[in-house]
């Protein structure tokens, strides 16, 4: 009966599984669309979207003891000693009185609501009950990266593609076939089809635990239902979230006007993309002026005020209009302007202009006139997890599966666009105007700044042992500490979506570890060691990791205390002193509100501070950069100053082998190239207008600062500093232009170009004439005209040759340019610099003949005795457009008399002495060996190293002479107050030459270690393999070169016009070489030349990568076999142990000289030991003579060898024995020949070494070689 019962139970379980699978397959939701294919969906997941929802674990209620302990730990960092002691007493009192009872009631309530978490409803109510305006206080934004295809970066095309992708996401979600959110701890094990098939067979009630066995953690998706057709309705006291899934229309806002059109048909299918595109186009082309009374501004009002206005609007007959707005799938906001500065983009997407965004909508998609896109979302309904999933899916689908293209024709008047009009009386119009004024006042009080920092990458930080998020939080803490000398309440949100209905928990990044690190990095005290700083950072990372894990697992303290406090308020009881304590209010008065959402699809994101005296810090760390977006309300807080402090903190944390030089260079790049300080960076210049704008904003404000990071006016001397307040300008900067002369008028067939042709820059076409202002021909009135019309650029119309300004040719991204040019010199005055740029624009200094403009300047940092010479080159191409190139190099023109300078001087002197000694030794060896010395490869390496040594010394002397001349000119102009640019570039060139020569010298010196390793038998074998295969490798290399060059030429011709990586021969060489390590750009090749790309790629991979590389490996394998075969012949080779031990004994013999009474036994193997006191130079001579004798013996002819055999005697280790004729015959082998040579070497070694020592030591030890019983 027991077996039968088990069998029935097993059958029942199988039946349940089959019913479960059948239900999935027959689920009508899978046929949600009547479309003939899957064009309406992103994908069809084999796992239902809500498959894991029922089995998700519930958010735990933490233990009261743990919560209070963590609470005090966090309070300790922001309270004074007295405040903390008082708070400890209050916490202990709460723990002994009110706390345990409140905890029991909260646990009991949680058990009564097992369908949700104990914090879900209070958290929703916290948002919905807040009466603050939701704009700036709650709504954040996330901006999309640009479309990688420039032709698709168009407002109409991109908005249409994003609308369709959003609708696909919505339909896939509602059809329950959207892939569930799962965090894969081991993606290789769980993020695959096998995992999904196994999970599909597990019932939903236990599916989470099945995924847990794979180390995969499904996430809560309950918030997704509020993404679409959702809005927040203002109500007195508490707002309401409303969803209307039946609506099929889209809301579009433009210039404060409202439009709507259907995007789904009556059956729920997505309308044709061309129809949607036509509707968007009609809205874009609507000539209606901006709405004089933009009702949308009411959504930025106080919530009770907006609730009152809404009721009045309904009373005026606008109920249907409001219903259409509330029920729309989402809102599309179209903006006409095209902001490029990141700060302007933040303002546009965070708050925009009054009435341009309906902030109550759960989801608003905003697109600017240039195609930049973002999502602005209302925060009450959900958090970043759901929005980020939508964000990533829409970004990828709109690019990978675009439904409209630049070639798509826009149908005329397809679809049914309806403009919505509000009925307003005079009172409501007045209310709108008041709300607009209030809105403008509020947003104008907000300050915004950003930072893009490129020293760090996510992988770099991980390799250093720190968590990426912990590093960012440490930088934020250090920035605030540097700016305000304190530690304050800090908030970082952490998702708890691993639990059912999970929202967020708070991470408190201000810890004892971060406070200690801030003090070590910022405070004035004895400089801590690198190890101490590193340990401090690692401690911060470890602590932050613990806090993050606790928060993600629901074990933080903020939500627990929030739940306890809310329970008291709901029950109407007495509020415990813990929640009325000023320390509790201080901890929840968030000064540093931080949040991060990382994704390759995100360009920038941000939000406003949550308190008037706080910062809103959005940040991200990606594979290529770090980004910060900071907001504040001045004068309470200063966002640009905070950004500067963040930059300095990141610089302090960053460790590099050449800290000073590298950081100095990177600092300049951050300000000028990357666009620090909220200004346009040099890297973003693509047009002449961008270049002018960069000069007017970034360059002027950075080179001529007026206020410091604290927004205080600088003193006169401080205004000579660079923007970082750490470097001083070494004379003003200059602009140097290179031009070409015009050629004949262009004419191709019947097409006539009205201007002369202008070639690219070449020496023969270079313009060096003198002009009047505006490039007018030189005449008698020129000087007067120039002084009148162009007094700030009067000297910029005359060519200055390279020699007079120490100019040197420079090669940029596109061409090579002379060191002279038409020079426009800045002054030390900011106002004159701005007038100079204005004058330059008015006089058309940049025209069709301009081919290159160099911006050159020099800075000096006394703290590190470092100069930096910066060149920002803009090349104007003859094809139109421009390219950019930069060179920023730090250098020290002179040594200073500090510990480092003295050490360097000592090293230089030691190096020169070493070169002289080595030269003497080599000359002595050449004198002894003659021409045979040059037959040994290592001797040639030594000679070349000596040559490089003298070359480096010569270059350094020349560089020092030029540096002194430049510094003398600098000092002279400093005394005469002459305000002209000084060119230090020639010092940089000599520096680079010196570094190259010296680096080669170090390389060769290191290479000579192989000579020492040559004493090792195994290493000799490796060298022998290469030598043995030399001829084959040479032939292979020649064939490889021909085939490789063939593919380089073919690739250049095929793709050179379309792809930058193939633009010329050398670029193609580098691109194809990258394929050896697995890097390829097949996708871009196919896009450029779809007909030949795949054929070219396949042939290259087959011929070069597969065939030729295999041949090369075969050559080396054959050589290895040959060498191994030849090693069957034994030979006597000194080993590494002997060499090392001998060297040590030689050194000890030189230090500790010992006297011996008896005569040394000078025989083979003992001679060196008996004369250990000899000078090391003597040993070198002996080795040279020994090697020469070896070479002589090796060249002995066969007659000598035959005489040796006939003698019948062979000497070995000092013994003499007779050899029979049979023995003599047996010796006539290669092995015996080697033994013969070895023995003769030993014999002559003994004689010559004894002879040399008799000369060097004054003792005739020659007789010791001859034994009475040995005849030699």
Residues serving a catalytic function are 379
Closest CA to 1178 of 1239, 1244, 1251: 1251
The DSSP symbol for 882 reads E
| Alpha carbons 1057 and 1101: distance in angstroms, whole number | 22
- Token readout for 309 is 């206005």
Q: Are 94 and 575 in contact (CB under 8 A)?
A: no
Total Cβ atoms within 10 A of residue 546: 11
Q: Are 655 and 633 in contact (CB under 8 A)?
A: no
| Helices within 930-1016 (DSSP H only) | 937-976, 985-1007, 1009-1013
| Alpha carbons 956 and 965: distance in angstroms, whole number | 14
**Extended beta strands in 309-371, E state:** 331-334, 364-367
The DSSP symbol for 467 reads -
| Alpha carbons 684 and 875: distance in angstroms, whole number | 14
> What string of H, E and C letters represents the secondary structure of 226-276?
HCCCEEEECCCCCCEEEECCCCCEEEEEECCEEEEEECECCCCCECCHHHH
Q: Are 1170 and 1158 in contact (CB under 8 A)?
A: no
| Alpha carbons 55 and 863: distance in angstroms, whole number | 62
Phi-psi map region of 624: left, alpha, beta (phi>0 left; psi -120 to 50 alpha): alpha
| Helices within 828-936 (DSSP H only) | 830-842, 899-929
Annotated binding-site ranges:
1211
Q: Residue 916: in which H helix or E strand, if any?
A: helix 899-929
- Token readout for 426 is 């005079």
Q: Are 271 and 263 in contact (CB under 8 A)?
A: yes
| Alpha carbons 856 and 988: distance in angstroms, whole number | 13
| Alpha carbons 24 and 202: distance in angstroms, whole number | 12
| Alpha carbons 130 and 307: distance in angstroms, whole number | 13
Task: Classify residue 1144 by burial, with Cβ atoms within 10 Å: 0-12, 13-18, 19+.
Answer: exposed
- Token readout for 713 is 């006016």
Half-sphere exposure of 330 (CA within 13 A, CB side): 25
| Non-local CB neighbours of 454 within 8 Å, separated by 6+ positions | 624, 625, 626, 669, 674
Separate counts of helices (H) and strands (E) for the chain: 44, 33
Phi-psi map region of 739: left, alpha, beta (phi>0 left; psi -120 to 50 alpha): beta
Annotated binding-site ranges for Ca(2+):
1211
The DSSP symbol for 698 reads I
Could you tell me how far CA 190 lies from the centroid of its own chain?
Answer: 29
The DSSP symbol for 963 reads H
Q: Are 333 and 366 in contact (CB under 8 A)?
A: yes
DSSP, residue by residue, 387-408:
HHHHHHHHHHHHHHT-S--TT-
Total Cβ atoms within 10 A of residue 843: 21
| Alpha carbons 457 and 1091: distance in angstroms, whole number | 38
- Token readout for 913 is 């002495």
- Token readout for 1187 is 């090697």
Residue matched to tokens 């509707």: 279
Q: Is the dihedral of CA 1053, 1057, 1062, 1066 positive or negative?
A: positive
């Amino acid at each position: 009966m027991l077996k039968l019962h088990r069998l029935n139970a097993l059958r029942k379980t199988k039946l349940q599984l089959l019913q479960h699978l059948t239900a999935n397959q027959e689920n009508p939701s899978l046929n949600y669309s009547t479309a003939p294919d899957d064009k309406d969906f992103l994908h069809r997941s084999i796992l239902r979207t809500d498959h894991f929802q029922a089995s998700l674990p519930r958010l735990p209620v933490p233990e009261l003891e743990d919560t209070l302990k963590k609470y005090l730990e966090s309070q300790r960092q922001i309270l004074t000693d007295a405040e903390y002691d008082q708070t400890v007493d209050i916490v202990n009192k709460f723990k002994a009185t009110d706390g345990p009872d409140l905890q029991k009631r909260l646990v009991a309530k949680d058990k009564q609501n097992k369908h949700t978490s104990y914090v879900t409803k209070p958290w929703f109510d916290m948002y919905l009950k807040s009466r603050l305006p939701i704009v700036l206080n709650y709504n954040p934004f996330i901006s999309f990266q640009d479309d990688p295809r420039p032709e698709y970066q168009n407002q109409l095309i991109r908005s249409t593609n994003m609308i369709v992708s959003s609708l696909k996401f919505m339909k896939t979600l509602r059809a329950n076939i959207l892939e569930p959110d799962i965090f894969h701890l081991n993606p290789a094990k769980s993020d695959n089809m096998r995992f999904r098939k196994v999970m599909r067979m597990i019932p939903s009630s236990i599916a989470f635990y099945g995924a847990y066995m794979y180390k995969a953690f499904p996430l809560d998706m309950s918030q997704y239902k509020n993404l679409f057709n959702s809005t927040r309705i203002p109500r007195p006291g508490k707002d309401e979230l409303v969803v209307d899934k039946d609506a099929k229309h889209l809301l579009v806002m433009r210039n404060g006007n409202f439009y709507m059109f259907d995007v789904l048909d009556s059956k729920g299918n997505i309308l044709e993309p061309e129809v949607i595109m036509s509707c968007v186009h009609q809205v874009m082309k609507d000539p209606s002026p901006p709405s004089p009374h933009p009702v949308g501004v009411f959504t930025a009002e106080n919530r009770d005020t907006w609730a009152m206005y809404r009721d009045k609007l309904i009373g005026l007959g606008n109920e249907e209009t409001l219903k259409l707005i509330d029920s729309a799938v989402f809102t599309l906001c179209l903006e006409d302007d095209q902001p490029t500065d990141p700060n302007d983009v933040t303002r546009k997407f965070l708050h925009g202009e009054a009435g341009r965004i309906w902030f109550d909508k759960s989801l608003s998609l905003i697109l600017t006139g240039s195609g930049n896109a973002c999502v602005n979302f209302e925060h009450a309904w959900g958090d970043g997890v759901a929005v980020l999933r939508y964000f990533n899916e829409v970004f990828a689908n709109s690019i990978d599966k675009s439904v409209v293209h630049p070639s798509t024709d826009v149908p005329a008047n397809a679809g049914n666009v309806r403009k919505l009009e509000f009925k307003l009386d005079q009172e409501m119009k007045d209310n709108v105007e008041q709300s607009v004024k209030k809105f403008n006042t509020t947003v104008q009080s907000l300050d915004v700044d950003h930072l893009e920092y490129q020293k760090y990458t996510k992988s770099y930080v991980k390799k250093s042992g720190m968590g990426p998020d912990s590093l960012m939080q440490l930088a934020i803490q250090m920035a605030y500490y540097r700016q305000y000398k304190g530690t304050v309440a800090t908030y970082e949100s952490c998702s708890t979506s691993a639990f059912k209905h999970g929202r967020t928990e708070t991470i408190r990044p201000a810890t004892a570890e971060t406070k200690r690190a801030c003090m070590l990095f910022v405070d004035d005290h004895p400089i801590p060691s690198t190890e101490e700083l590193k340990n401090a950072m690692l401690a911060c990372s470890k602590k932050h990791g613990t806090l993050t894990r606790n928060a993600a697992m629901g074990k933080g303290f903020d939500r627990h205390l929030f739940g306890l406090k809310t329970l008291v308020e709901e029950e109407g009881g007495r509020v415990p002193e813990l929640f009325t304590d000023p320390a509790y209010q201080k901890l929840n008065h968030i000064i540093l509100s931080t949040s991060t959402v990382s994704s390759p699809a995100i360009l920038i994101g941000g939000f406003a501070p949550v308190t008037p005296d706080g910062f809103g810090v959005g940040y991200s760390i990606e594979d290529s950069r770090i980004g910060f977006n900071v907001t504040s309300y001045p004068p309470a807080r200063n966002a640009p100053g905070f950004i500067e402090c963040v930059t300095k903190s990141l610089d302090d944390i960053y460790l590099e082998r050449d800290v000073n030089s590298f950081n100095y260079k990177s600092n300049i790049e951050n300000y000028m190239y990357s666009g620090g300080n909220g200004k346009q960076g040099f890297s973003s210049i693509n047009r002449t207008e961008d270049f002018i704008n960069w000069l007017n904003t970034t360059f002027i404000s950075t080179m001529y600062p007026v206020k410091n990071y604290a927004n205080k006016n600088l003193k006169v001397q401080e205004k000579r500093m660079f923007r970082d307040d750490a470097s001083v300008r070494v004379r003003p900067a200059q602009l140097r232009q290179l031009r070409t002369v015009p050629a004949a008028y262009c004419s191709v067939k019947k097409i006539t170009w009205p201007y002369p042709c202008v070639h690219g820059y070449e020496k023969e076409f270079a313009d060096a004439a003198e002009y009047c202002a505006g490039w007018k021909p030189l005449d008698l009135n020129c000087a007067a005209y120039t002084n009148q019309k162009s007094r700030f650029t009067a000297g910029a119309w005359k060519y200055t040759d390279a020699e007079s300004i120490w100019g040197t040719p420079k090669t940029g991204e596109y061409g090579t340019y002379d060191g002279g040019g038409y020079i426009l010199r800045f002054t030390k005055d900011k106002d004159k610099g701005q007038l100079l740029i204005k004058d330059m624009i008015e006089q058309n200094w940049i025209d069709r003949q301009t081919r290159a403009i160099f911006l050159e300047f020099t800075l000096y940092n006394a703290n590190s005795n470092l100069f930096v010479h910066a060149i920002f080159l803009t090349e104007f191409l003859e094809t139109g457009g421009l390219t950019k190139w930069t060179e920023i190099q730090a250098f020290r023109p002179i040594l200073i008399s500090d510990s480092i300078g003295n050490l360097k001087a000592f090293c230089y002197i030691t190096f020169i002495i070493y070169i002289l000694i080595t030269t003497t030794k080599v000359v002595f060896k050449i004198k002894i060996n003659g021409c045979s010395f040059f037959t040994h490869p290592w001797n040639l390496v030594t000679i070349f190293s000596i040559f490089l040594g003298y070359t480096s010394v010569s270059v350094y002397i020349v560089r020092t002479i030029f540096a002194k001349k430049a510094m003398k000119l600098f000092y002279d102009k400093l005394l005469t107050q002459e305000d002209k640019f000084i060119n230090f570039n020639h010092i940089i060139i000599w520096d680079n030459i010196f570094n190259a020569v010296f680096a080669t010298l170090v390389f060769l010196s290191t290479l000579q270690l192989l000579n020492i390793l040559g004493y090792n038998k195994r290493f000799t074998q490796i060298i022998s393999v290469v030598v043995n295969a030399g001829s084959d490798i040479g032939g292979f290399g020649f064939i490889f070169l021909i085939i490789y060059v063939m593919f380089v030429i073919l690739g250049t011709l095929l793709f050179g016009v379309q792809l930058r990586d193939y633009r010329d021969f050398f670029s193609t060489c580098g691109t194809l070489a990258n394929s050896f390590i697995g890097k390829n750009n097949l996708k871009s090749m196919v896009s450029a030349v779809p007909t030949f790309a795949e054929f070219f790629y396949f042939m290259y991979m087959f011929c070069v990568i597969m065939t030729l590389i295999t041949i090369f490996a075969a050559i080396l394998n054959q050589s290895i076999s040959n060498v191994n075969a030849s090693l069957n012949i034994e030979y006597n080779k000194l080993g590494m142990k002997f060499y090392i031990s001998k060297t040590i004994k030689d050194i000890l013999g030189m230090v500790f000289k010992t006297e011996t009474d008896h005569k040394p036994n000078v025989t083979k193997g003992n001679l060196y030991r008996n004369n250990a006191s000899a000078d090391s130079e003597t040993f070198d001579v002996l080795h040279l003579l020994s090697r020469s004798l070896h070479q002589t013996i090796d060249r002995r002819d066969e007659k000598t060898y035959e005489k040796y055999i006939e003698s019948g005697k062979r000497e070995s280790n000092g013994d003499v024995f007779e050899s029979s004729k049979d023995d003599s015959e047996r010796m006539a082998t290669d092995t015996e020949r080697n033994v013969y040579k070895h023995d003769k070497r030993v014999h002559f070694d003994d004689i010559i070494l004894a002879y040399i020592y008799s000369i060097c030591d004054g003792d005739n030890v020659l007789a010791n070689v001859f034994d009475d019983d040995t005849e030699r």
